[in-house]
Amino acid sequence: MSVIMIAEVAGADASFMDGMRAAGVLDAMATYPGFVSHISGATGNAYRVIEVWDSREAHQAWVENVILPNMPPGAPTPSMEYMDLLASVPAS
């Protein structure tokens, strides 16, 4: 079942995503097995990511193989929450 994943990186700001983009993470995401969509932005005290994946296992593989190896030195591990995707309405 498809899942929504919500993650936060405490203490990170927009430069966090700039670093991930420079490392090629966003380009790799578009073709990673199980990836559906990504939105993200800086909050007042963290960087929040919301993604849709075909399964929790697909997302966990992405995190282990791509995200964690590209995290900035000393960055905290993102907190992640999953929920089943029950509805999605694309823009027309």
Nearest partner of 37 among 54, 24, 18, judged by Cα? 54
> What's the one-letter identity of residue 28?
A
User: Could you confirm whether domain 3-84 is CATH 1.10.3720.10?
Assistant: no
Q: What is the pLDDT of residues 26-50, one digit of tens each?
A: 899 999 999 999 999 999 899 999 9
pLDDT value of residue 15? 86
What global pTM score does this model have? 0.88
Structure tokens at 54: 């075909």
Would you kindly state where each structural domain of the chain is located, as residue ranges?
A: 3-84
